[in-house]
Structure 1
């Protein structure tokens, strides 16, 4: 079943009732000009089991501990935002799989050659997906990117990921003079940042559901990063966010400010169509297939991760 992505950008009171998320809006309840019938109708309920991601994008949101417990029991990712509306926190369950200890040990015992092979597959598919996005949206020659993808060696010893990224970002947003991909850079960097934060939460949720440690990466190993594995696995999925950002830019004349409307357009990321192993499914389902295949790679059952192909 496709899980819902909920975003709360206005003051709200979130509580639990009969295994349902109960949503009440203080601005409606405290409005004395509205009849009681309308106030009652403004209260909404959503089954907890139907929710996959919750975005808390307002500093006046109240969440009961019962809601958080129920969401985490159902492997829901809860994202908190700062005063600028950018994601800054991610809450995930401590135990997301019945054989979690066994899978932790498989992940911890993964050999260096295996991790390098997995990173080779990750980089190759990322470059191929970037090539498809660049080819579909520009008139630039992308033959070099296909060549780089085919030349990726174990562990990406030649850093072809970096070479491909430099070419990709130089040409993808040519309509934005001087664009440089930088977290704190000029638009559309803010759209990419927001989209990647949603994607990261989806991937981290899938990793926990598959019984893996999101912290222990196959390549990323920053000591201050709690989601190294999520950052590894999300790499081939990033071009889907890039394509969505391109589509948003084409539909909107002004993207200088990350408005509520633009955020709503980015919140469809978990539902984007993705092809894995020749089968089309929503990105959230595809992420689960990817992380499940990664577990099998760690256990030696298979040799390839099921990454998306654009």
Structure 2
């Protein structure tokens, strides 16, 4: 499985030769070659990057996710391999036929783990345990919206004078990190034989990644911690630098706890999708395992 995340931020041409990605910077005669089997994710940040449909097709064969960015250098397009699983039809049938009680139990588990991970962020940064008391209050389907209640408290502790969707560097960093996680989950959702648009809790007809937006919830606190550690001034409205983005891309290689193992966040994305399939087949929400911070009980 590929492990390298490549960020292309300058005009260049990308091609494929001898099972290698060939990077040719503009105004340069030197090529840089990277074996396709080593690549997990490609970020196309500059608008003047040239590549062929053949490269896109080969990336699909090698299970490589490609992000394309807008003029503000934020990911706005995800290209991910599709239907690589040998039993896609049966898996999709199970996904479509999820009962409401089953979906509610899955969402309860996701929200509980999200709050647990948020609580661990506050413990790491501030030795604050305020969110712990909310975890067991989450009911099936989170019908009392404990997630929303804890979210308000969480952000008020994590950042000063913070508004989630305001145009600040903190939000730019959060959005960038979340986009990388969302695309990575979308890749493994598709390669596990699942349909990304059929979610557990998220169900918008306009959203092609409802399931990714469900499964990402317990992963978000890992990005939150990274952004908090950047110590960005709450009034800073500058865009992310190349160094900022390179730092945020390391999220995929950060270590987390999954079951009784320490693995990378990228591997946790893959295992979460695989376990989601197992939970569908056996109609048992307890089978779904989610990432934790290392050392979490």
TM-score bracket, shorter-length normalisation: over 0.9
**What is the alpha-carbon distance in structure 1 between the residues aligned to residue 285 and residue 207 of structure 2?**
27
Counterpart pick for 2:86 among 90, 98, 112: 98
- Report how many residues are paired: 290
SS in 1 for 2:104: helix
Partner of 2:240: 258
The alpha-carbon deviation at position 2 of structure 1 amounts to 5.0
CA pair 113-301 structure 1, distance change in 2 beyond 3 A: closer
CA pair 2-74 structure 1, distance change in 2 beyond 3 A: closer
* 1:2/1:282 contact within 8 Å kept: no
Q: Does 1:272 align with 2:242?
A: no
Partner of 2:272: 290
SS in 2 for 1:234: helix
**What is the alpha-carbon distance in structure 2 between the residues aligned to residue 185 and residue 154 of structure 1?**
35
Partner of 2:181: 199
CA pair 255-270 structure 1, distance change in 2 beyond 3 A: farther
* 2:22/2:33 contact within 8 Å kept: yes
CA deviations over 1:155-207 (Å, ceiling 9, x no partner): 00010000010000011013xxx21111x432311100101001111111111
**What is the alpha-carbon distance in structure 2 between the residues aligned to residue 104 and residue 23 of structure 1?**
38
Q: Does 1:84 align with 2:72?
A: yes
CA deviations over 1:252-295 (Å, ceiling 9, x no partner): xx783211111111111111111100210111111111111100
**What is the alpha-carbon distance in structure 2 between the residues aligned to residue 247 and residue 278 of structure 1?**
26
Q: Does 1:188 align with 2:170?
A: yes
Partner of 1:8: 8
Shifted more, 187-196 versus 93-102: the winner is: 93-102
Partner of 2:151: 165
Partner of 1:308: 291
Q: Does 1:124 align with 2:112?
A: yes
**What is the alpha-carbon distance in structure 2 between the residues aligned to residue 307 and residue 301 of structure 1?**
17
CA pair 107-21 structure 1, distance change in 2 beyond 3 A: same
**What is the alpha-carbon distance in structure 1 between the residues aligned to residue 2 and residue 266 of structure 2?**
8
Larger Rg: 1
* 2:107/2:141 contact within 8 Å kept: yes
The alpha-carbon deviation at position 139 of structure 1 amounts to 5.0
Partner of 2:20: 20
* 1:115/1:218 contact within 8 Å kept: yes
Partner of 1:71: 59
**What is the alpha-carbon distance in structure 1 between the residues aligned to residue 27 and residue 100 of structure 2?**
55
Can you give the 5+ residue segments of structure 2 that lack an aligned partner in the other structure? none
The alpha-carbon deviation at position 96 of structure 1 amounts to 2.3
The alpha-carbon deviation at position 149 of structure 1 amounts to 1.0
The alpha-carbon deviation at position 302 of structure 1 amounts to 4.5
* 2:257/2:291 contact within 8 Å kept: yes
TM-score by length of 2: 0.93
CA RMSD between the two structures? 1.7
Partner of 2:198: 216
User: What does 1:143-154 correspond to in 2, within 5 Å?
Assistant: 143=130, 145-154=131-140
* 2:200/2:211 contact within 8 Å kept: yes
**What is the alpha-carbon distance in structure 2 between the residues aligned to residue 149 and residue 27 of structure 1?**
56
